[in-house]
Structure 1
Amino acid sequence: MKKRNSSVNKTIHNFYLSKLKNPKIKKLYSRFKRIISKDTDKNYCVAISGGPDSMALAFLTKCMSMERGTSNVYFHIDHKLRKESKKEALFIKKILKKFDVNLNILKWVKNNNLNNIQEQARLKRYELLIKKCRNHKLNKILTAHHKDDLYENFFIRLLRGSGLNGLISFKKKYSKLKINEKILIFRPLLNFSKNELIYISENTFGNYIKDPSNLDNKYLRVYVRNILNNFKFNKKNKNFDKSLSNLHKSNKALEHYIKKNIDLNVIKNKEKVIVSKNFFSEPDEVVFRSLNIVLNSFSYKAKLSRGSKIMNLIKNFKNSKDTYKTTLSGCVFKKVSNTMIISREI
């Protein structure tokens, strides 16, 4: 049995080595290594949807773990949103098993009464993965979001009226599902194009899932993707990358003043938050994002109110008398001598 296992391990090892002899794949893997090597962790929770992007991520992380002698944990979420989802999950699991990648399948049973099912599925996907991270004592979830996703996300948020932070949020390599969440979402492929990841996937594992919803124009992401493709957007990427970089720098400057506003004008303990009147003297965007951070860190609600409701709260607070009182995101807001007192609802 030991001889057989040794033979299998050698075959698997030789498979990955042979694929890395491809000059293009070798170059892309080297780029991936440079990105990952800057991170402090060695083991990860890897999210696999089964599309070409995540199959490329599975190949790259497997190569990395073999080189480092480390171990990753791979998960696929079966959302049960399409009748083919179970069959697809087992198909991907079978493919990856041939190449010594053990894929764990997690299931989510949807609530038929939920609105915006795609957003709910996204949140539930991360909640399930975060739970598994804690079980395996892992700090980061690796996702296969790439440069094309970055561009699409910018225009989707632009159409939805997002502010500066929303427009450039996807450019951040690390993010959190909630402000007080310790598990990070890590996007190591943001400098890779969709075509590069398809090339890796087709020339390594050779198979992946083609989700038919990616062709359905009723979804905003698909609608935006088709516009960008028709616009031949990829030929204009350099200037757009420069614009995104400039927006990112502007946002960093704004974050400096947001932090300063919170540090100088907010006192917090376990029971309440006291926000001084000087807090509201800053520019509107600084006030809005400062209060959003305060609320995120104090509320027990898993999902907080939309930005429009927070903006209305700020407006009403500024224009009201000392008797003003309201509730939002599981918190009570009171105005006392131009100071805001925030406590949790009982």
Structure 2
Amino acid sequence: MGERTTGTTTADHLQLLCWAEQFGDARTWAIEDCRHLSRRLERDLLGAGERIVRVPPKMMAHARDGARTYGKSDPIDALAVARAALREPNLPTASLDGPAREVRLLADHRDDLVAERTRAINRLRWHLHELDPAWAPPARSLWRAKHLKAILQHLTREDGTVARLARGLVERCRLLTAEILELDQELEQLVRAQAPALLEICGCATLSAAKILGETAGVRRFRSRHAYARHNGTAPLPVWSGNNERHRLSRTGNRQINAAIHRIAITQAHYHPDAKTYLERRRAAGDNKAESIRALKRRLSDVVFKALTTDAEANTASTATAA
């Protein structure tokens, strides 16, 4: 029906919207689901009252494979997105960013700071080993203030470039730890305000709740608890052959949510009576340890989905009351 290449600014998106007016008001925009690149376009179109569906990249690949044209280019990709959107029902619809995005940004930034501190600690340990192989601080302790202070006292007896670099790394670890603790406090306040029901789940502390809340990005975009389980990778994949009904471990889905649910499952396996009873029943039925944990994760996905739904309804009600 038409083709147009546009820029990435808000003014370019306005021109694109004016160009699309020729196709009538009942239109839907299909955008490849890569929000780090398409976020501005989605925000501008949603602000204009447009409807947007997100097409997963793997669906585009299948559309390209089945096309009569070969290769990969922007026009070919655009046609693949359109065909995938027409072929697949119930694609996720885009919406304006809510409070969950702030949680995700803070949680991702905290992960980056922790990784940066780990690299600094590793370099510091090598420098300390070079200066004095007979002396080493306790393992997994170089983010604590008392141990960093002890290292500085130990380095006062050392001179040279290696000692100077080590003192700089100690200060870097101290600053990173202070920033990480500030983020922990901020996340605690945000998560407790947005997801109190999620925090009530046994084994779900602030960081796991923040990861689930941020990566879910709005539980209402999932039509059911089964769709959410498929999204986070806890739903097993069917591998039936003939009358042999089997399922195997799914390695697809959002691995960040999957890892958070796994941490909750491991904690409940040690401390939650109902979870321990369920695991024992699964083991008695013939499951091994890994299989029983995977079954528990699938049940926990439903629990998390219900808690997120409860929190979303409570937040909507409080917003309506405030308005």
Q: TM-score range by the shorter chain?
A: under 0.3
* TM-score, structure 2 as length reference: 0.23
Structure having the higher strand fraction is: 1
Bigger radius of gyration among the two: 2
Structure having the higher helix fraction is: 2
* TM-score, structure 1 as length reference: 0.22
